[in-house]
Structure 1
Amino acid sequence: MDYSEAANRISRKFAQGGQTPDVTKIEGKLRRLVDEFGVQPSEAERSVTSELAKEYNLPAPGSGGSSGAGGSGGGTQEKKIAEGVPGEWVTIEGKIVALSAPASASIAQSGIIADDSGAIRFVVWAKSNAPAMAEGSWYRIESAVMDEYKGVANLKVHSGTTIKEIAEDRSLIPTPTPIKDLRPGIGGVRAKFVQEWEANHERMLQSGLLGDETGTIKFVIWKEPGKEKLVPGAVYNIFYAQVDEFNGRLSLNLNAATILQEEGEIAVSGGEAAFTGAIVHIAPGSGIIKRCPVEGCNRALSRQNYCPVHEIQPKFVYDLRIKGWLDDGEKTHNVLIQRDVVEALTGISLAKAQEIAENNPLGMDEVFLQMRDAVLGRYITCHGREIDGRLLVNKCEKVAFSTGDHTALLNRAGGAPS
């Protein structure tokens, strides 16, 4: 875009009406819109033209006396949030349902704004000098930029944006979305907390799996003041969660979400998988393990009882698990089998494993060896949820095997991943 030519073109339009706009300022506004906000050059030129028309209390040149937004909005179109398209300048009316800490000094405010059509993340640039908005209040935001970042729409408030508080508290009843229909952005679900996972980061408060009648999805809550854990097995209405996408998989960030526990039950389905084959490899870290006893941690400890977050934990808690590979003849599946299923599959209870670990000269290694001998090469069917390439097993069944297939699978065991 030739900014100088565009600025002179805009200036000439108003010069015909006796106005003398500053060409340098016009060029600066055009550069900021295109270079900083990623606005299309034609849209930037139209926006600056409309802004000058508003400043001079004139109809925009060539507009026939209309400002293009029902007589307001500086030439932008008033829309519902769900109707906005990245690249447009829009005017919306919505409720601030969440505020979050700005990611940098260049941002004055950030959070989520919602109306009855949906919700969107917003950013208020510090240099816009916009008035601060309060969580729970309604606002009319005129001439904001609908932008896109990593495929997700967001709203940018800049120096040309007008923010007006709406005095009335309008009704806003968000509608949950079936998990299978979630898309990157902001969304809500009615779901059951079906599985809690071991936290794999020191800043993580809780992680696990939510499910409804249509499927399951991973969630995470990061440690922040006032944040609380969800209760396993409970049903929740969750609104205004951030729906992220990584490697083609969706997950929910619940830190800015509104979370309401409710009575009732959900028949969770979707995400279930079942594979039949032979256990061809038992990975290190299987058998009896020690876990951190600190509430909310549950991390597996090292042989020296060391937790990566809470350091040495002499009052550890014992647990059982099997990490291994199940070969179905066509594909090798990474499986993680938890305590109750391990006990049923191996015939070794937690109490028995603890006795072996504390009294046998080989200690915990003896438990590993006995469990390996009990399952390696055995045909089983594993049921569970497949998450990030691993089957989280909730039930196993022993299966009669074919001698020919059994030999072929064992011959492949030497090449199984470790």
Structure 2
Amino acid sequence: MDYSEVTERISRKFSKSGKEIDRQKVEGKLRRLIDEFGVQPSEAERSVSNELAKEFNIPAAGSSGGTGAGAGGATEQKAIAQAQPGDWVTLEGKVVSLAAPASPAIAQSGIIADESGGIRFVVWAKSNALKMKEGAWYRIESAVVDEYKNIPNLKVHSGTTITEIEKTDPLIPEPSPIRDLRPGIGSVRAKVIQEWEVTHDRMLQSGLLGDETGTVKFVIWKEPGKEKLAVGTVYSVFYAQVDEYNERLSLNITTATIMQEEGDIVTATGGDVEIRGAIVHIAPGSGIIKRCPVPGCNRALSRQNYCPIHEIQPNFVYDLRIKGWLDDGEKTHNILLKRDVVEALTGINLDQAKEIAENNPLGMDEVFLQMRDKVLGRYVACKGREIENRLLVNTCERMHFESGEHAKLLNRAGGAP
């Protein structure tokens, strides 16, 4: 990056007001913000311009808005919920969770909160900052707020001062309805509706949480002391990280405070979708499969009965599933059918599938072939919930073949009017 060009641009802004800047000092601050703290160049330019405007007691010269103080300047104490990317802030809060650093360059990371809300923080190793303890209150002066995946992050650098403060106020956030969650830090009271097969070796559990207003995906990563949530149980989850991907929210509750609650929640029944079309592909891994019998695992095993977590499992458990594609004429949908749906759609139950797998020369492949012949190319109506670009099917019924509709699809495919 050409820092001299940015410095020149800032200089021209202030020369119009008859002010001369210290170019060497300005360029040093730009390098510090961008190279050391990872601030976006545009935000770094804005921050330095705002600091100079405050120093010269003039309106911000050509900045993109905001009045945050710059590096090394005085910073106003703010409530955590008011901290926005590009701000230099001073705040007081309680460290409600700590996470394992993702890089040797990071000394600490976690979540700090006050009565207004929480924010994720990162302490750079080279800052030589005071090491914070979970559950303690701190005053953090002159930290910078940036943004990662549309979520504000508090960065503690060499110019930040951390002081432990004497405060024992309880800090229990009010859970929000799932439908009101936004990217950042959030708290919910919800029931575990489903547990899904994990897709990563480092993942302890993933599934679906629900309350009266909606549902949201959750994930727990493997860390010492972390335990799975029980399906059908209600929990209060405080200070979870709310992430957004492809306009869908998910809760990372690995470092959240989790409390099991009494009672039940009537979860929202809305949100299911129906897709009608033809099953155009049956993916490998469909038919009869073997699952790990270790309580809480349930992973699909390889043909050699190998679990990626618990290794060889001779006392496996059989299950049925179908993974495939459903084409509605405009879009192809990734679908997953669980055992009861597979049995109803194919007419082959688990006991029959086991008998075929154990007595036919082709074994489990024969189950796959028979199920594929029964469903491939068939028109069906599948109902379920779309999660992570996959339809988790709860019911799937065969549709009556409409020759007129078929002709319309063929005409459209051929470009006919």
Q: Which TM bucket (shorter chain)?
A: 0.7 to 0.9
Q: 1:370 to 1:162 in 2, by over 3 A?
A: same
Say if 2:198 and 2:206, in contact at 8 Å, map to a contact too: yes
- Alignment-derived partner of residue 180 in structure 2: 181
1:229 Cα shift? 0.3
Q: Distance in 2 between matches of 1:329 and 1:130?
A: 59
1:135 Cα shift? 0.8
Q: 1:41 to 1:364 in 2, by over 3 A?
A: closer
- Where do 5+ consecutive residues of structure 1 fail to align? 7-22, 51-59, 413-418
1:409 Cα shift? 7.3
- Alignment-derived partner of residue 384 in structure 2: 384
For 1:219, what is the secondary structure of its paired residue?
Answer: strand
1:122 Cα shift? 1.0
Say if 2:137 and 2:166, in contact at 8 Å, map to a contact too: yes
Amino acid at match of 2:401: F
For residues 291-330 of structure 1, the C-alpha deviation after alignment (integer angstroms, 9 at most, x for no partner) is 2223333222233323344443322211001122333343
For 2:383, what is the secondary structure of its paired residue?
Answer: strand
For residues 105-124 of structure 1, the C-alpha deviation after alignment (integer angstroms, 9 at most, x for no partner) is 33222110011211111122
- Alignment-derived partner of residue 36 in structure 1: 36
Q: 1:161 to 1:45 in 2, by over 3 A?
A: farther
Q: 1:331 to 1:130 in 2, by over 3 A?
A: closer
Say if 2:149 and 2:244, in contact at 8 Å, map to a contact too: no
Q: 1:278 to 1:41 in 2, by over 3 A?
A: closer
2:116 is equivalent to residue 117 of structure 1: yes
Q: Distance in 1 between matches of 2:198 and 2:354?
A: 24
Amino acid at match of 2:234: V
- Alignment-derived partner of residue 17 in structure 1: none
CA RMSD in angstroms comes to: 3.5
1:74 Cα shift? 6.2
- Alignment-derived partner of residue 371 in structure 1: 371
For 2:85, what is the secondary structure of its paired residue?
Answer: coil
Q: Distance in 2 between matches of 1:401 and 1:49?
A: 72
1:122-133 alignment, distance < 5 Å: 122-133=121-132
Amino acid at match of 2:44: Q
- Alignment-derived partner of residue 415 in structure 1: none
2:210 is equivalent to residue 223 of structure 1: no
- Where do 5+ consecutive residues of structure 2 fail to align? 11-22, 59-66, 413-417
For residues 75-114 of structure 1, the C-alpha deviation after alignment (integer angstroms, 9 at most, x for no partner) is 2111111111211211111111011122233322211001
Amino acid at match of 1:332: T
Say if 1:192 and 1:268, in contact at 8 Å, map to a contact too: no
For 1:133, what is the secondary structure of its paired residue?
Answer: coil
- Alignment-derived partner of residue 12 in structure 1: none
1:174-213 alignment, distance < 5 Å: 174-213=173-212
**Equivalent residue pairs, number:** 382
Identity percentage of aligned residues: 70
Say if 1:82 and 1:118, in contact at 8 Å, map to a contact too: yes
- If the length of structure 1 is used for normalisation, what is the TM-score? 0.80
- Alignment-derived partner of residue 337 in structure 1: 337
- If the length of structure 2 is used for normalisation, what is the TM-score? 0.80
Q: 1:148 to 1:278 in 2, by over 3 A?
A: closer
- Alignment-derived partner of residue 15 in structure 1: none
Q: Distance in 1 between matches of 2:46 and 2:410?
A: 66
1:348 Cα shift? 1.9
